[in-house]
Amino acid sequence: MRLSQPGGGSESDPRPVSLALKREIEMDTKHTPGPWTRRKFPYVTHQEIITVDGHAPICFVYMPENAILIAAAPTMYSFVASKAQSGDNEARKILESIHGNAKGN
């Protein structure tokens, strides 16, 4: 995914990025929509990451610290995407990294 946009959002052109960037981000986002939360089980060593409505298990995590971070991923992604859409070049680089790593799997 290449997030540089003509007509705005570059270092030399600080205008907000185009609607095309927003559509590109939305089309490349294939994760289960958030928000996500953690579900702890008594007498079990793992936590389950689930959608807030509880209908879609995402994964099982054995380290509570990782579960907290994973559950926050959709919220963090939305924040970075909104910054990228506003022309933040660092946020664009982060999204390029996320989408580049996802395509390598």
Given a cut of 50, is residue 65 above it in pLDDT? yes
Say if residue 10's pLDDT is above 70. no
Q: From the centroid of its chain, how far is CA 4?
A: 18
- In this prediction the pTM is 0.66
Neighbours of 53 (CB within 10 A): 8
* Rounded Cα distance, 100 and 105, in Å: 9
User: Cα 41 to the chain's mean position, in Å?
Assistant: 26
Nearest to 67 by CA among 95, 47, 92, 89: 47
Give the residue extent of every domain in the chain: 19-103
> What's the chain's average pLDDT?
75
